[in-house]
Amino acid sequence: MARIDDYIESRRIAVESLRNDSFADILSRSGFAKADQNRFRVSFLNRIYLVNFPEFEFLDESEKTQEVPIQEQILILHYMTSPTDAGSTGNWISYREIPGASFYFSTFVKRAIDPLKKVFGQDISKLAKPAETIQGQWIDAGDAGYEFQIFPKVAMQLILWEGDDEFPPEANIIFNETIGEMLSPEDVAWLAGMLVYRLIALA
């Protein structure tokens, strides 16, 4: 497990990289909204963060005294550093299909797939309300499926098959096929886990 010093260093490196870019370039590349002349307005799950430039300090728009978790800051900063303008093509891939993801597959399953099955697999109806709270859109897949627009150019689909006395529950999480151009496999595993645990917290 990463130590807080590792998170701090990861955040520092991302910020230093972003300071080489202009506010306008990051705004255009990320697809985030502009809060004012030097702040991005970032929608992340069910929170709105204001991120200033060039310090990249985070402020929760609705709970200004609440500290924004550093893991969330790092993921948002990593997305901002992505050099690509790639967006969704409408094609979906599994986690294993992300270049370099095989090494992190067990971590992805532990952080995202297993908790999703454990909490919602025996009663998929419990997923509806928290999914809608995070603006999840119902999709016709499995016994229950939702699509989430995590960032302007990053989407995920959560698909569940309900368990019963005969069969255990099954779950899958798939991604827009360009996600590997914007985030590392480790970041994607963290991001999927954050989505699942936010849904669990809201259930």
Asked if 61 and 112 sit in the same domain, the reply is no
Asked if 108 and 181 sit in the same domain, the reply is yes
What is the rounded distance in angstroms from the CA atom of residue 112 to the CA atom of residue 107?
8
Instruction: Quote the tokens at residue 167.
Output: 């069969």
What is the rounded distance in angstroms from the CA atom of residue 119 to the CA atom of residue 163?
11
Residue 97 lies in a domain: yes
Structural domain including 42 reads 4-81
When divided into structural domains, the chain yields a total of 2
Q: Which of 47, 81, 115 is the last residue of a domain?
A: 81
Residue 101 lies in a domain: yes
Asked if 42 and 140 sit in the same domain, the reply is no
Which tens digits make up the pLDDT trace of 19-47?
999 999 999 999 999 999 899 999 999 99
With beta carbons less than 8 A apart as the criterion, state whether 159 and 141 touch: yes
Which tens digits make up the pLDDT trace of 110-142?
999 999 999 999 999 999 999 999 999 999 999
Average pLDDT over the chain, rounded to an integer: 94
The amino acid at 181: E
pTM: 0.93
Task: Reply yes or no on whether the pLDDT at 158 is more than 70.
Answer: yes
Asked if 154 and 198 sit in the same domain, the reply is yes
Domain CATH code at residue 167: 3.30.310
pLDDT on residue 88: 61
Asked if 112 and 60 sit in the same domain, the reply is no
Q: Which residue has the tokens 């990463």?
A: 2
At a CB cut-off of 8 Å and minimum separation 6, what does 116 contact? 158, 160, 171, 173, 196, 199
Q: Which of 81, 104, 135 is the last residue of a domain?
A: 81
Which tens digits make up the pLDDT trace of 69-102?
999 999 999 999 987 766 666 899 999 999 999 9
For 148-193, the DSSP string reads: EEEETTEEEEEEEE---SSS--EEEEEEETTGGGTS-HHHHHHHHH
Asked if 101 and 60 sit in the same domain, the reply is no
Please give the share of the chain, as a percent, with pLDDT higher than 70: 96
Which tens digits make up the pLDDT trace of 47-73?
999 999 999 999 999 988 889 999 999
Q: Which of 28, 57, 81 is the last residue of a domain?
A: 81
